[in-house]
Structure 1
Amino acid sequence: MELQFYPPGFAPFADNTSCDDAHWCSALNIDSLECSGSGYAPSPCNPNCTEPVNFAFIQTNGVPTGPPSPQLSNLATLTPNRHTLLMNPGDVIVVSMFDAWIPGGRALEARETDLSTGQSGYMIASAANGFMNTNPKNCSGTPFNFQQEYSSARAQNFLPWGFGPYMINSEFEIGHFEPCTSVHGAATFTMGSFTDTYYKNCSGPYETTAEKPALEPDDSPCYPFGDTHGGTVAPNLVTGCDVSFNATGDLDYDGTPYYRDWPDSVTPDRYPSTFLQLQPTTDYGQRCPQIQFETDNSATQLATGCNPATGANCVLPPPGPGNFYPYWTQATVGGLCVWEFGNMANGNTFGGDAQYGSVGPETIGAFAGPVRPNPNC
């Protein structure tokens, strides 16, 4: 399960990144793997539904915008409505995830309260809301109440089919944006009644060489500044590419996530200010006693010779022109001990990229540092 947050400025969500130009939004995602085995290379998999996703925006009324299940999802599923919780940049958000009582049993609930606006929203991953489990043999769906896999967050309790030994975690999924001066190679995206023109290739200072098909077939989807996507949204605020249609991400590492284009201050300057996250706790206010720094960037280095079993040729920063990879910092800000992410030097950086450790047989393909006591500032 991933509770994902999406930044403003690059709508519509159906074939882009944002809910609108001004607000953050979020969604409850439940990804499954329809394969046998475990670890970073499970097989065999059903090619017709390898990783189906249940998806629903966090809503002020708790009602999905459309069918969440991978079997029935449609344009409405990926289109925010007047009940979608929208948050302003800089708002203070309290996030809770727990096993909720529902008619007939229990199901996972994600709830967000915006202390800055007073609004709140939630989503329950229940059969009543349209969530479904997928049959790995024929891809059919069965209404399902999703619940937590484990009763505790021990280091041994990790996702069995994930890339790395993680379960409860805070993560920035990077490598999905490249700014451009122009885009070219028009193509068409269609979902239900929605048809949109996108572009496959980016031209600009970050694209200094031709794409390598083994890494990135193209940069799609790309959109120009001012694009209204057929009048469905306000004009996009930037020209750029999400690099998610025909490639799994920015596998040649030439986009801004792999440059020092990250927050370096708690106040906005050339870059946005950093996000600030308090220590996660249980319902009873208890912190996790241990933490571990990890990144699955090694999963994106397979085409450049990274061996996830041994760690050979797996490097951080990854092999790109920007020679940078963001890292976690713990610092005291406004009298509070918080976690930051990016290029922050105002606290304990845990060695920068060294915090992520190395790739080896025991890390299930990922860079993983040692399990360590959960620190305070």
Structure 2
Amino acid sequence: MRPRKLIYVAAGVGLMAALAPWSVPAASAQHAKIDCANAKTFCTEVLDSEQVFGNNVYVGHDEPSLLFYSNKPGSGNQMTYNLTLPADPSASGNPRTDGKSYNFELHPAFWFGMALCDDQSYPESLYNGLAGPCTPNSDANIPGNTGSGMAHAPGVAFMEMQFYPPGWALWPPGVSCDPTKWCAALNIDSLSENPVTGQVLNSTCAARTGLEYVNFAFITHDGVPIGPPNPVDATFDTFNPVGNSDVSFFNSGDQLSVALADTTNGLGITITDSTHPTQSGFMVASATNNFGMVQFAPTGTACTNIPYDFHPMYSTSSEATRVQWAAHSYNIAFSDEIGHFDFCSNVQTHGTCGQSEGLGGDTEPSDKDDNFCFPAAASSLVAAAGCLATNAGFDGMSYQNVWPDGNANHPAPVDFTSPLTGGVDYNRLAFETDLPRIEVKAVSPYNNCNRTTGTGCVNPPLTDDGAAASFYPFYSTAAGGTSACSWVFGNQIPFNGTNPPYPFYTTNSFGGNPAEYGSLYLSTYLAFPSGTAFHTSSRFNNFHNGLASNPCAG
């Protein structure tokens, strides 16, 4: 749900002035946070951004996702994926004119996700006296689609095991950890909002942690966070992996096993690098590791971290298991973060873009989505100047035909297997993309999606020139890669015998886009405020296509 976010550093509780995106402080002990309200294009997409962050404020981004379903007990709390990290073309040449594309341009992150318990998160049922503490690993937590069921469900967070590409502006506040190596971090997003009463976290605490708050920890060799993960106590060190020998760094092309499983002390994630075993690492979302909930206090000024072991919320991964405050409908899922990078001809001092955006025949004057920009001099390897704000004009690199397709000037795709739970396949899946959430007129003026009726919600989306986006990436099954059958994301990869620059090739693209992502999908949420009658509202936030069987099992 969220790639790298702009970090604001605080002295005490008050925020300092926002930093230029390529400037960071040296005071490692200063409080720092992932600020969704100000770095609004980089956070978990809530069901209604305006409801949380104010009128005409959008928080989120384009997230084409692959959802995995199973009724097997344990499928909601333990699984293993195999993954091959994608390689990039060489860094030589002019990135704006030589036809090359890079992972950081296409997706500043990709991730594996899971719903977790958080008693201080939406719908604040513990605070409202409607439910007790969350019982982990239980389908009794399923909220259902009635207002009463959702209001009485335990508080929920969403975990993303994120991977960050190399070669561009470094953390923080960039998207890369190293010029040539990948890194990974455990992110847990929670929402401090009470939909029944219409209350939110008090403004003093929200200024320190955010209404949508994030526990964050890089994967390390010894499983010890490099800084406090919880948002009340997090520091600059929490977000600074650069040159840290404790952090796990991975080479492009490395074959990884990503194991997610509940432990006595919280969700544990182990990444085993079979190509370079010494780079393996792990992390447990435990109170011992300084993970915690932000106590829900809608009045006063208190801002309290409650040490907490974050456990999986559900036993299974059925279609009914979800994070009820999120725009997407998922629990166990893979997602790619797209729709961010666009070239900029002249990055301004405070991270905006002057003159022009885009490349080639799509070069045009810069516009309002050209923010959070970095000059070429800020890059760690590829000398590209560009911006990372949500590309609401749908004309940045993610929407060009530069995705993995067998062309050596394009990167290899993310190549991963379907998950196994206790050695057993997930037997159903769905393709889902949250385009309708982005296509509201306040966010993307040339689109006009009415999420109540579905009118004007389209795939592919319209660019800021009023035409359909040039390209929209999709999932395919592949042979010859990580396993006999694996998933890749991007474009079709033809088989050509030796198949350079990578060994795999597309076997089924499910009709490509838009066919793969299916039709509009209606989700039900608590109204805000719902009152004690627990009123609901419904939104078309996604296109969704469910398959009755998993075509790439095992």
Gaps of 5+ in 2: 1-158, 442-446, 494-505, 524-538
CA deviation after TM superposition for structure 1 residue 350, in Å: 0.9
Aligned to 2:251: 88
Q: Is the 8 A contact 2:356 2:365 kept in 1?
A: no
Q: Distance in 2 between matches of 1:124 and 1:144?
A: 11
Q: 1:77: Cα distance to partner?
A: 0.6
Q: For residue 191 of structure 1, what is the aligned residue in structure 2?
A: none
State the match for 1:373 in structure 2: 549
**Distance in 2, Cα, partners of 1:43 & 1:355:** 38
Q: Please state whether the residue corresponding to 1:366 is helix, strand or coil.
A: strand
Over the aligned positions, Cα root-mean-square deviation in angstroms equals: 2.2
Q: What per-residue deviation string (whole Å, max 9, x for no partner) do you get for residues 127-169 of structure 1?
A: 1111111223255321111010101111111111111211110
- Aligned equivalents of 1:157 and 1:18: distance in 2? 33
User: 2: distance between equivalents of 1:175 and 1:158?
Assistant: 24
1:63 counterpart = 2:252? no
Q: 1:207–1:44: structure 2 CA closer, same or farther, 3 Å change rule?
A: farther
Equivalent in 360, 364, 369 of residue 208 of structure 1: 364
Return the letter of the residue paired with 1:152.
Answer: T
Larger CA Rg, structure 1 vs 2: 2
Match of 1:176 in 2: 340
Corresponding residue number in structure 2 for 1:50: 211
Deviation at 1:44, TM superposition (A): 4.9
Show the counterpart of 1:312. 455
Alignment partners' CA distance in 1, 2:433 and 2:165: 21
Code of the residue aligned with 2:266 in structure 1: it is A
Q: 2-side partners of 1:364 and 1:123: how far apart?
A: 36
Q: Deviations over 1:75-132 (max 9, x none)?
A: 101111211110111111100011113xxxx301111011110131011111111111
Does structure 1 retain, via aligned residues, the 8 Å contact 2:434–2:543? yes
Compute the TM-score of the two structures, normalised by the length of structure 1: 0.84
Q: Kindly indicate whether residue 292 of structure 2 is the aligned counterpart of residue 132 of structure 1.
A: yes
Match of 2:330, as an amino acid? Y
Deviation at 1:184, TM superposition (A): 2.9
Aligned counterparts, 1:29-44, within 5 A: 29-37=187-195, 44=199
Contact 1:35/1:50, CA 8 A, preserved across alignment = yes
Q: Relative to structure 1, is the Cα distance of residues 201 and 154 closer, same or farther in structure 2, using a 3 angstrom cutoff?
A: farther
Separation in structure 2 between the aligned mates of residue 140 and residue 368 of structure 1, nearest angstrom: 39
Q: How does 1:285-300 map to 2 (within 5 A)?
A: 285-300=423-438
What corresponds to 1:326 in structure 2?
473
Equivalent position SS for 1:336: coil
Aligned equivalents of 2:233, 2:480: Cα separation in 1: 45
Which residue number corresponds to residue 2 of structure 1? Answer: 160
- Higher mean alpha-carbon deviation, 234-243 vs 151-160, is at 234-243
1:195: which partner in 2? none
Deviation at 1:27, TM superposition (A): 0.2
Counterpart for residue 148 of structure 2: none
How many aligned residue pairs are there? 341
Segment of structure 1 superposing worse, 11-20 or 344-353: 344-353
Cα offset, 1:37, TM superposition: 3.3
Q: Offset at 1:360?
A: 3.6
SS at match of 1:257: helix
SS in 1 for 2:335: coil
Aligned 8 A contact 1:184 1:200 in 2: yes
Consecutive unaligned residues of structure 1, counting only runs of 5 or more, are: 188-197, 229-233, 244-248
Q: Mapping of 1:219-298 within 5 angstroms?
A: 219-227=370-378, 234=380, 237-243=383-389, 249-265=390-406, 269-282=408-421, 284-298=422-436
Cα deviation, residue 237, structure 1: 3.4
1:231 matched to which residue of 2?
none
Residue number in structure 1 paired with 2:121: none
Distance 2:183 2:327 in 1: 26
